Structure 1
Amino acid sequence: MHDEQKTNEPTRRQMLGLVAGAALAAPLLGATEALAAPADEKKKAPPPKGAAGGGTKMRPYELPPLPYAKNALGGYLSAEILELHHGKHHAGYVKGLNDTLAQLQEAQKKGDFSKIKPLERALAFHGSGHVLHTLYWNSMSPKGGGNPTGALKSAIETSFGSVDACRKQLAAAAKAGEASAWGVLAWEPLGNRLVTLAAENHQNQGFQGSVPLLVIDVWEHAYYLKYKADRGSYVDKFFDVANWDFAAQRLAQAQQAPLFG
């Protein structure tokens, strides 16, 4: 991946387009904006209503730091894998997102939307890639594994019958994703239930409105240096580091923000 380059600062309207217009950015963002948003935006109060059309600007998206040391998952993923995955692949999606937003801003200035289809495709791809990778790092923890507790455990048992059944279904979804894919455990607010998704690329086969709680990256760059072509072992061992506390926190946030309030 190329190093990030500076672009014109995209407008808030363009950033919101990631949520409202992208094929999987919308369903997978859920309550994740605070994780994947530009760093400075996390510290600021939301702008007043109407500011989106008034020229308010946002800083470009930034690559968030890993929530643990690169060697912290050594028994599952090596420091070399995390260095390449986070520093090259994830960084590439951040750069692609910023570049796409800059091109959309230029198209707005010129009133020329002849390239809107590939730009919207790029927005969905890079934006969803950034969001999913941000979720992925937090879906694992050196202190992870074990079993979920509390409200998450209850929701899992209601939706899947048991924690073990949930693990099996999520693992099956992750293993079944074609080529470059993700296994996703998500909260679906209309039905008040948990679902699993086999999202392909980053932005395809989502469930609009669902909020991801835990994600497994099954693109080959996530595991090939250690597991070679054995995706199954990589997925099965994910549960040794699964961050159920993170998933529980996201479930609580999702349940406080119903799709239709």
Structure 2
Amino acid sequence: MLGLVRAATRPTRLASSFARAAASVHTLPALDYPYNALEPHISGEIMNLHHTKHHQTYVNGLNAAEEAYAKTESPKERIKLQAALKFNGGGHINHTLFWKNLVPESEGGGKLADGLLKQALERDFGSIDKFKNKMNTVTAAIQGSGWGWLGYNPETGKLEIVTTANQDPLLSHAPIIGIDIWEHSFYLQYKNVKPDYLKAIWNVINFKEAENRFVEATK
């Protein structure tokens, strides 16, 4: 009888252990540069608010959603939590990538060295300027909030420009460069003129980081 009781309780204990493990604690990543280091292209005020307020909100929301998910075994309640997990999880993933996308001009921002990424961009878009123009055009055309991406498509072996809505993470491609087009990323400085923000951001794009992502994606 004791053996039967132990056998019957084992799945519940395993489920509880799994639930506790799933409730991981996410934290706001530190930036590799001061908030004002990307000026004049992105103001220190924007960077401070974007990082400490907006990204922190996604981190808090993700932790809360994962904790709630771990505490319930109800399929209905877990399904209800999917939207919060997707939105806040995507916000955390996207912004963590975005901060690495950027680097001050004095540390190489905007400089694309000769290498595999440059060769691939010229192959797939014709030139670096054509790539930037296309990415800016596609990103500016997003209705509402979202992200513009340079992604590597493992099925075609090519670099492609794609967009995602809201805070949806890029899942169809390996993300190489992501540009946040939510108003909180530019409005204090550029108001409603999104093209000016998109033109300026190329001065602080971390192409060295993008090169590393591209090399990793194509292994």
Q: What is the TM-score with the length of structure 1 in the denominator? A: 0.72
Cα displacement (A) at 1:209: 3.5
* CA gap 1:59/1:118 in 2 versus in 1, 3 angstroms: closer
Cα displacement (A) at 1:148: 4.5
Q: What letter matches 1:81 in structure 2?
A: I
Does residue 181 (structure 1) correspond to residue 184 (structure 2)? The answer is no
Does residue 101 (structure 1) correspond to residue 63 (structure 2)? The answer is no
- Which residue, out of 63, 73, 96, partners 2:38? 73
Cα displacement (A) at 1:182: 1.0
User: Which stretch has the larger CA shift, 223-232 or 146-155?
Assistant: 146-155
Does the 8 A contact of 2:139 with 2:181 survive in 1? yes
- Which residue, out of 160, 165, 173, partners 1:195? 160
Cα displacement (A) at 1:240: 1.0
Does the 8 A contact of 1:145 with 1:243 survive in 2? yes
Partners of 1:73 and 1:84 lie apart in 2 by 14
| SS of alignment partner, residue 214 of structure 1 | strand
| SS of alignment partner, residue 196 of structure 1 | strand
Instruction: Name the structure 1 match of 2:3.
Output: none
Instruction: Name the structure 2 match of 1:89.
Output: 54
Partners of 2:82 and 2:43 lie apart in 1 by 35
Q: Which has the larger radius of gyration?
A: 2
Instruction: Name the structure 2 match of 1:259.
Output: none
Instruction: Name the structure 2 match of 1:139.
Output: 101
* CA gap 1:119/1:55 in 2 versus in 1, 3 angstroms: closer
* CA gap 1:115/1:79 in 2 versus in 1, 3 angstroms: same
Q: CA RMSD in A?
A: 1.9
Cα displacement (A) at 1:117: 3.2
Does the 8 A contact of 2:22 with 2:70 survive in 1? no
Partners of 2:58 and 2:113 lie apart in 1 by 31
Deviations 1:73-92 (A, max 9, x none): 11111111111100000000
Partners of 2:26 and 2:57 lie apart in 1 by 12
| SS of alignment partner, residue 31 of structure 2 | coil
Q: What letter matches 1:100 in structure 2?
A: A
Identical positions, percent: 34
Does the 8 A contact of 2:61 with 2:88 survive in 1? yes
Instruction: Name the structure 2 match of 1:212.
Output: 175
Cα displacement (A) at 1:115: 2.5
Partners of 2:67 and 2:23 lie apart in 1 by 12
Instruction: Name the structure 2 match of 1:155.
Output: 120
Partners of 2:86 and 2:162 lie apart in 1 by 17
Does residue 122 (structure 1) correspond to residue 122 (structure 2)? The answer is no
Deviations 1:151-202 (A, max 9, x none): 0011112221221111111111210111111111111111111111121101
Query: Which runs of 5 or more structure 2 residues have no equivalent in the other structure?
Result: 1-16
Query: Which runs of 5 or more structure 1 residues have no equivalent in the other structure?
Result: 1-51, 257-261
Deviations 1:191-236 (A, max 9, x none): 11111112110117x5x44111111111001111111111110011
Does the 8 A contact of 2:20 with 2:70 survive in 1? no
- Which residue, out of 202, 208, 212, partners 1:239? 202
Partners of 1:53 and 1:253 lie apart in 2 by 31
Does the 8 A contact of 1:182 with 1:198 survive in 2? yes
Q: Give the paired residue count.
A: 200
Deviations 1:128-150 (A, max 9, x none): 11111111111111031133420
Does the 8 A contact of 1:176 with 1:198 survive in 2? no
Q: What letter matches 1:84 in structure 2?
A: L
Higher helix share: 2
* CA gap 1:54/1:217 in 2 versus in 1, 3 angstroms: closer
Cα displacement (A) at 1:118: 3.1
